[in-house]
Structure 1
Amino acid sequence: MTRTEYPWLLPSAMVGPPDAGDGTGTPAGGGRRPRRTVRDWIVDTVAFLFAALLGLTALDVSEQINGDSPIVLVDQLLGAAACCALWPRRRWPVRIALVLTVVSVITPAAGGAYLVALFSLAVHRPFRQLAAVGALALVSAAVQPLARPDPSLHTAASIAIGIVLVLLMTGWGMLVRSRRQLVVVLRERAHRAEAEAALRAEQAQRLAREAIAREMHDVLAHRLTLLSVHAGALEFRPDAPPAEVARAAGVIRDSAHEALQDLRQIIGVLRTPDDAEETGAADRPQPTLATLDALVAESRAAGATVLLHNRIADPAAVPAATGRTVYRIAQEALTNARKHAPGAEVTVTVVGAPGQGVTVTVDNPAPPGESARVPGSGQGLIGLTERATLAGGTFQHGRTGDGGFHLRAWLPWSV
């Protein structure tokens, strides 16, 4: 997201040129000025009416003091011109503020327009430009009661009121500018955080896919080696008895079929590349659904309360790739429960049948009492989603209404 995507949030949101402009009405970079919106017309109209109301009040006081003097006519003309000068103030905020600051010394009828111009300058321009005009405005506020005194007010009181109004309008404008800039910064930070989160998710998926090759070796090496041995025997013993040839051919056919089945399933079976090196378990058998009881027992030994409902009568009949994925899903869910819901009872349910698939659900309520929030990146759940999706299954997870957590995955189980 760039600032140009949200022009209404910029410090120059009131349809003025950017702060980097040259003050001539041409935006930095030579682009065309944005057109006024409905909101801009409403703001301009309210500003004009405000300046006109204060100008009429000042003219009434001038008529009471000067009667039919030509000074009243001069005040009327200059006051009207000052109010009309507010319409192009977005294009030349510095110049108009300077002119109205000088004019307000000559006629009090320009006081309202002068205050609006100061406010607009504070909104549109950085403090460096505002400081120069603001210093002149403070001098003008002190000189104006001396040049055009009001008999109804003490001179010191008039000077004090003028200075307070100048400080009030400039301070208000600076506050509006700061709030708009803060909104832009917060939106940019939110967009950056979303982009970084998407990048982390993409990196997690890329690393998970890179682990496919190692998983394929673990599962398919045995079957392909067996197939190669029997094919080599047929090649080097062409005179073998027909019974042995038939038996070797059957083994080759069965091994090839099973290898193809495993290959379809293994695409979604992922493992962290450094797991074997870190644990020293490179040669150990990979976990399957049959080892789920050991995983639950390990969690219970660590102090967790885990209820396991494994309704698959023969876990060994589940394909190795599918069982390993179920194992990894349950492992990640129990790890997350220990981190984010310590002391809560975790329920793991596994059901399924050939042709119907395997469904694993893990539920835990909200943790009892107060518990420290443990930060998590969510990369484990991203990896599990990738596992299940590439294996041809589905994966859902999220919080429940009572503050607990629910996880459900379905994986195919071919006949």
Structure 2
Amino acid sequence: MTGTGVRDVVAVGAALGGGAILVAVGDATGPVPGLVPWQVDVAIGVPACFLLLLRRRWPLGLAVVVVPLSAVSIMASGAVLGAIFGLALRRRTVVAVGFAVGYLATTPIYLLLQRELRLPVWTDVVVRGVLVTAAVGWGLYARERWALIQHLGERATRAENEQAARVARARRDERDRIAREMHDVLAHRLSMISLQAGALELHPALTADLHAAAGAIQTGAHEALDELRAVIGVLRHDAGDEPEPPQPGLEAVRDLVADARDCGGDVRFDDRLGAAGTPPGASGRVAYRVVQEALTNARKHAPGRPVELVVAGGPGDGLRIEVSNPVPEGGVPGSVPGSGLGLVGVAERVELAGGRLAHGTAAGRFRLEVLLPWLA
């Protein structure tokens, strides 16, 4: 059974139970209505209770039908209270209050139909007033609570969509930046190939075949450079008129460490590459970007705490980078707020380079581990 079905069963059951109690116990007139036989009272009230199944689709029409029944049937009291609750939940407050007043206005008619009064009249008025006030108040509370839940749900959905958009934008920006860097690097390399092939073509000691081969190399380099500019050269317009310089390689990591130390940071650099040297090309550029972002995050979120940087690996094992630092006590962030998207761009670079990235907090330390292939 769905949640709506369960609520319907509870609503009808509560109306039937409440009406049955009132019929059995009675009110100011005694346990059994006077001029209206209890069988007629029940015959009117039970269908009214089942009419609560229509409270969602026709709350106003339901109230118009069942509220007048309280003048002749005490069994219908549960249905009347349920209808007024539905009005308070789904319609304007003034409408629910109006029908609540109408329900109280039927009290004199109901009392006139009784044979004798066992209790003071005010007891019946007070009981009805308390019940209908509770129904209206509960309905208003449920309406405000439902509106608050919807508002919070919309805010959560909007926040998730905005975060997803920021992540997608960060990935796109990082890919554009990578494309611009590769454009600068490859354009320089192809230009050098073209120049060297042109110089070789003019060398007087070469045979005709070698002259032709050098000319073909120069022509191919020119065509490749034109195609490269046609494919990704347009990305330069996203970054302004000035081209973005190529990213430094892993050999420039020591400069990053020195800059961090000059700013007061405690960076402990463990270079385990040794005779393996540094990987040229894409791996070195990605590694530099990883270290740069890791040291920036450490300075933002854990200022004044020691940072351990380990760089290891070789041509057969790949390039491994580990950065770790203690987490501030109580999770208090650093003085500089972060966007939370720096690692998204790093992860995008690492993934495009064929590597793996993992980060997280364990044993009071934040760790960032990256494994990159040793690309030429």
TM-score class normalised by the smaller sequence: 0.7 to 0.9
Structure-2 residue corresponding to 1:389: 351
Select which of 145, 164, 170 maps to 1:179: 145
Gaps of 5+ in 1: 1-36
Distance 1:105 1:191, change over 3 A: same
Structure-2 residue corresponding to 1:44: 8
For 1:401 and 1:274, the matched residues in 2 are separated by 38
Distance 1:153 1:394, change over 3 A: same
Find the residue that maps to 2:175 and give its secondary structure. Answer: helix
Contact (CA 8 Å) 2:42, 2:75: kept in 1 or not? Answer: yes
Distance 1:142 1:105, change over 3 A: same
For 1:294 and 1:179, the matched residues in 2 are separated by 57
Deviation at 1:385, TM superposition (A): 1.1
Superposed, 1:268-279 pairs within 5 Å as none
Say whether residues 1:98 and 2:64 are aligned partners: yes
Letter in 1 for 2:356: T
Deviation at 1:126, TM superposition (A): 4.4
Superposed, 1:265-304 pairs within 5 Å as 286-304=247-265
For 2:293 and 2:265, the matched residues in 1 are separated by 14
Distance 1:120 1:67, change over 3 A: closer
Partner deviation per Cα, 1:297-343 (whole Å, 9 max, x = no partner):
21112111111111112575420432222121111111111111122
Say whether residues 1:202 and 2:164 are aligned partners: no
Select which of 313, 316, 320 maps to 1:355: 316
Gaps of 5+ in 2: none
Find the residue that maps to 1:133 and give its secondary structure. Answer: helix
Structure-1 residue corresponding to 2:100: 134
Structure-1 residue corresponding to 2:285: 324
Letter in 2 for 1:344: R
Partner deviation per Cα, 1:92-135 (whole Å, 9 max, x = no partner):
32222222211112332322221122223333444354344334
Structure-2 residue corresponding to 1:108: 74
For 1:80 and 1:368, the matched residues in 2 are separated by 64
Distance 1:368 1:274, change over 3 A: farther
Distance 1:101 1:228, change over 3 A: same
Superposed, 1:245-256 pairs within 5 Å as none
Contact (CA 8 Å) 2:34, 2:116: kept in 1 or not? Answer: no
Say whether residues 1:165 and 2:126 are aligned partners: no
Say whether residues 1:405 and 2:366 are aligned partners: yes
Deviation at 1:296, TM superposition (A): 0.8
Find the residue that maps to 1:51 and give its secondary structure. Answer: helix
Distance 1:327 1:314, change over 3 A: farther
Structure-1 residue corresponding to 2:205: 240
Contact (CA 8 Å) 2:175, 2:349: kept in 1 or not? Answer: no
TM-score by length of 2: 0.80
Contact (CA 8 Å) 2:180, 2:244: kept in 1 or not? Answer: no
Say whether residues 1:58 and 2:22 are aligned partners: yes
Contact (CA 8 Å) 1:322, 1:413: kept in 2 or not? Answer: yes
Letter in 2 for 1:338: R
Contact (CA 8 Å) 1:145, 1:159: kept in 2 or not? Answer: no
Contact (CA 8 Å) 1:52, 1:83: kept in 2 or not? Answer: yes
Deviation at 1:395, TM superposition (A): 1.9
Higher mean displacement: 378-387 or 55-64: 55-64
Contact (CA 8 Å) 1:349, 1:361: kept in 2 or not? Answer: yes
C-alpha RMSD of matched pairs (Å): 3.7
Structure-2 residue corresponding to 1:335: 296
Structure-2 residue corresponding to 1:376: 338
Letter in 2 for 1:57: I
Contact (CA 8 Å) 1:142, 1:159: kept in 2 or not? Answer: no
Higher mean displacement: 143-152 or 153-162: 143-152
For 1:72 and 1:85, the matched residues in 2 are separated by 20
For 1:100 and 1:309, the matched residues in 2 are separated by 82
Letter in 2 for 1:289: L
Find the residue that maps to 2:290 and give its secondary structure. Answer: helix
